[in-house]
Amino acid sequence: MSFGDGIKIVLVEPAGERNIGSIARVMKNMGLTALVLVNPQCDPFSEEARLMAVHGADVLQGAMVVGSLPEGLRDCQRAIATTARPRGIPTKLETPREALPWLWEKNINSALIFGPEDRGLSNQELSYAQRFICIPSNPEYPSLNLAQAVGVCAYELYQHFHNQQSPPTNQEEDTELASLEVLEGYYQHLESVLLKINYLYPHTAPAKMEKFRRLINRAHLQPQEVAMLRGILRQAEWAIAQNREK
Amino acid sequence: MSFGDGIKIVLVEPAGERNIGSIARVMKNMGLTALVLVNPQCDPFSEEARLMAVHGADVLQGAMVVGSLPEGLRDCQRAIATTARPRGIPTKLETPREALPWLWEKNINSALIFGPEDRGLSNQELSYAQRFICIPSNPEYPSLNLAQAVGVCAYELYQHFHNQQSPPTNQEEDTELASLEVLEGYYQHLESVLLKINYLYPHTAPAKMEKFRRLINRAHLQPQEVAMLRGILRQAEWAIAQNREK
């Protein structure tokens, strides 16, 4: 899939080695490969960072380190900046779900920019972007960990990609359902056993069986599940007969 | 907002102190407050954990530590389990976006269950849930860090909450669901009867019961339906004993 190369994750002055490692991991999880580090305030290739990246180590290793934000955005046509809260930005703040799909377009290079852990993006840094997103969160404590913020955005991008490229296959369709005939066979069998053990009496049977049918129908049984339930009935009949013979 | 109290985040045997702290933080970010730790493999209240929780320290401090998954689910009516990939689960795997809104309903306690960092939830653990989600991710490296997985789900829940603002009232007004504790009582009873009639043997019981739990969980039983099913079991026990006496 040529999804991840066209969208860069740009971290401005990240200070946490573990955060950078975690970000490489979640980028790999979500099919993103291009990581740009603007003037990092720590060693992004440290042991700590690599440990957190796990199988995203190649994303970390391939990260591009640059001295300034414009340098990091050089070949991009579109950029979205993230911000923790409205701070007098004259443009509209959008949600990731609304805005992020815009980054993903053929023959377009684009960037998603995140600020430093402690201060977020400055107004000057924000001004390099064309659109702005804020991750919806609890007003009492809106500030997400940087790696979590990248995770949520990468997840939203992947969701969008995933839903476009290949609509989710309906797994229910792969699950073969028992035919009504097979189900009917089970209900008949069940009724006869319930009559045998005096749980049902001929005059109560129809009403009780209706409840039972409704319950079982809700479970959308597969053929092998009906076979299992009938196995239980046969075994119960056997247990009763065994004791009868003794 | 009374959003976060009704939905528990349940971590089974978490082993990373930092992960637990990060999870407390992102829960707070997304308005969730109830954290349950099942048999944690580390000190969840360590300095490391508290440092990562930052302003989510109250969520961490309020975490309930329990010895087993059923204990953690005792007062819940609904549970969703997370799984990294299909592993022969005969039920439908859903995305967080599809399934998570189901956890949030007035007067319903619900749980979202996550497995240990290294192995995920076992089939036995999965069988306590009624629905199953898998976070869509890159097939080349689908395994998310535990805190990131919780983050994505908490974010989806908050998004849903944010877009709705008031929890949906139960549309099937009369439909009260059986608590997981009541269901558990039924499963135990069923297992003992199936052993008695030689349908189950001690060595096959866990695997077979797992299939049965999954089947029954899909039916979303009401308390009176569980009572009906237990009535059948009692009557079967009676029928076997009756014949024995003859």
Pick from A165, A200, A223: which residue ends a domain?
A165
**A contacts of B92 (beta carbons < 8 Å):** 171-172, 175
With CB atoms and an 8 Å threshold, state whether B216 touches A219.
Answer: yes
In a domain, A12, yes or no: yes
Residue-wise pLDDT for A106-153, tens only, equals 778 899 999 999 999 988 898 888 889 999 999 999 999 999 999 999
- Whether residues B137 and B212 share a domain: the answer is no
Q: Which residue has the tokens 């013979």?
A: A245
Give yes or no: residues A82 and A155 share one domain: yes
Residues A139 and A17 in one domain: yes
Is residue A1 assigned to a domain?
Answer: no
Which of B132, B164, B196 is a domain's end point?
B164
| DSSP state for residue B170 in the 8-state scheme | P
Q: Which helix (H) or strand (E) holds A111?
A: strand A110-114
Q: A185-237: per-residue pLDDT in tens?
A: 999 999 999 999 999 999 989 888 888 887 887 788 888 999 999 999 999 99
Could you tell me if A182 and A211 lie in one domain?
yes
| Residue contacts between A and B (CB atoms, under 8 Å) | 159
Domain span at residue A59 reads 7-165
**SS3 track for B197-216:** CCCCCCCCHHHHHHHHHHHH
B166-169 LR contacts (CB < 8 Å, sep 24+): B167/B3, B167/B104, B167/B105, B167/B106, B168/B104, B168/B105, B168/B106, B169/B105, B169/B106
**Chain-chain contact of B243 with A240 (C-beta, under 8 angstroms):** yes
Best of A18, A93, A199, A229 to substitute, by most chain B Cβ atoms within 10 angstroms, is A199
Cβ–Cβ under 8 Å, residues A178 and A225:
yes
> What pLDDT was estimated at residue B241?
85
Chosen domain end from A165, A199, A234: A165
Structure confidence by residue, pLDDT tens digits, A144-181: 999 999 999 999 999 988 777 543 344 444 567 787 77
Q: How far is CA A158 from CA A96, A151, B150, in A?
A: 12, 10, 17
**Domain annotation covers residue B34:** yes
Query: What average pLDDT is seen over chain B?
Result: 89
- The pLDDT of residue B86 is 62
Query: Do residue B81 and residue B45 come from a single domain?
Result: yes
Of A31, A151, A199, the CB nearest to B138: A31
- The reply to whether A177 and A160 lie within a common domain is no
Q: CB B26 to CB A55 under 8 A? A: no
Are the Cβ atoms of B55 and A143 closer than 8 angstroms?
yes
Question: How many domains is chain A built from?
Answer: 2
Q: Which residue has the tokens 């900046």?
A: A81
**Distance (Å, whole) CA B34 – CA B28:** 10
Range from A43-47, A50-54, B124-128 carrying the lowest mean pLDDT: B124-128
Q: Is residue B135 part of a domain?
A: yes
pLDDT < 70 regions, chain B: 1-4, 85-91, 165-175, 243-246
Is residue A151 located within the same domain as residue A180? no
Which residues in chain B have their CB less than 8 angstroms from residue A29's CB?
137-138, 141-144, 148
> How close is the nearest chain A Cα to the Cα of B71, in Å?
25
Distance from CA of A51 to the nearest CA of B (A): 12
Q: Tell me if B135 and A155 make a contact (CB, 8 A cut-off).
A: yes
Backbone phi, psi, residue B21, to 5°: -65, -45
Could you tell me which chain A residue has the CA closest to the CA of B26? A144
Short-list A12, A55, A61, A1, CA closest to A34: A61
CA–CA gap between residue B168 and residue B162 (Å, rounded): 13
CATH number for the domain including B118? 3.40.1280.10
Euclidean distance between CA atoms B206 and A7, whole angstroms:
47
Residue type, B53: A
Looking at the fold, whether B99 and B70 belong to one and the same domain comes out as yes
Whether A72 maps to a domain, the answer reads yes
Cα gap B237→A201, rounded to integer Å: 17
Backbone phi, psi, residue B110, to 5°:
-140, 165
Q: Please give the residue of chain B at the shortest CA–CA distance from A243.
A: B244
Among residues B17, B11, B7, the alpha carbon closest in space to that of B37 is found at: B11
Return the CATH number at B193.
1.10.8.590
Is residue A101 over pLDDT 70? yes
> How far is it, in rounded angstroms, from Cα A129 to Cα A131?
6
Considering the domain architecture, whether residues A21 and A89 belong to the same structural domain is answered as yes
- Contact between A112 and A146 under an 8 Å Cβ cutoff? The reply is no
- Which tokens in the block code for residue A39? 């003037």
Q: Largest Cα–Cα distance of chain B, in whole Å?
A: 70
Q: Is residue B22 part of a domain?
A: yes
Q: Are B86 and B105 in contact (CB under 8 A)?
A: no
Q: Report the first-to-last Cα separation within chain A, whole angstroms.
A: 69
- Looking at the fold, whether A161 and A181 belong to one and the same domain comes out as no
Give the angle B148-B153-B157 at the CA atoms, nearest 5°: 145
Any domain includes B174:
no
Say what the pLDDT of residue A155 is.
Answer: 97
Same domain? For B195 and B138 the reply is no
Global ipTM: 0.78
B181 burial (CB, 10 Å; 0-12 / 13-18 / 19+) is middle
Test B138 with A222 for CB contact under 8 angstroms: no
Report H helices in A86-170.
96-99, 123-126, 146-165
Alpha carbon distance B48, B45 (integer Å): 8
| d(CA A238, nearest CA chain B) in Å | 8
Domain identity same for B158 and B46: yes
